Structure 1
Amino acid sequence: MQYLKGPHKKRKTISLLLLIIGTALSVAFILKIEFPQGFEAYFKREYYNQFGPLAISVELLIAGYYLFIGHKKTNFTLALFGFTSLLDPFFNQIGLFNSIVPLYGTIILSICALLCLWLAFANTFKLKRLSHIAAIVSIVLGILIELFFNYL
């Protein structure tokens, strides 16, 4: 149990918390997805828009898993999740689209996003430092993900 002392224990604890939250939100968002009758309805934008909240929670699961194993891309995935999660309510507030993430999901995901962004940019667990280019790429990918599920 020597490996679970100090920063390793904190990293594993935070990652397990993120994994539990990500799993709970994924299940909640999956249960809200409506599967249409008929073949044609699967090709409409309204059908694919339902998967936006699920995509954000899956990003949280991936970031939590990477944090758990200490992967070298952890800080990038934490930043990607953080930006994607915060961009959803931001774009909703400025009127770009109407977010379908429920209020409880927005609050929980925003709290997790702020924590993840802090962990990523502070390099709290001494994983591979987030470069300026990787930070910009995570912002751009977050924007693209949000626009794909909500606007395009």
Structure 2
Amino acid sequence: MTELDITEVVRRSGVPASALRFYEEKGLIASIGRKGLRRLFEPSVLERLALIALGRAAGFSLDEIARVFSPGRRPSIDRRMLAAQAEKLDQKIRELGAMRDSLRHAAACPHPNHLDCPTFRRLLQGAMSGRKGARRKRAPRPP
């Protein structure tokens, strides 16, 4: 098969037709023509859509993903950008882990009222200072 119509791309990729049209407007993918009212794509569009999905799942914006695709060339992935995003994900994982631990503590807290619990109070202080799920106070950074 040398070309896929938009219906086949939707079926094989799971990406809605509206998203395919949007990706085409953003320059992430390109149709190669039309068959009646339906856009036609090269089979390689499926690999591009997989890369887009992977990038989105990793937290990249569509504009960041677009920079990976050079017109007419294979994708060129910036390794520094990947490392920076991995670092952001590590930070998010730490934050989510702290939030999970906080929720588990609150669920199993032996105090009859959460406000009587010193650990829960620290969690509240952390939330008020913008550190959701904070487990302990950190020393202030030197100026």
**TM-score higher than 0.5 here?**
no
Identify, as 1 or 2, the structure richer in strand. 2
TM-score (norm 2): 0.30
TM-score (norm 1): 0.28
Question: Bigger relative contact order, structure 1 or 2, given CA contacts below 8 A and separation 6+?
Answer: 1
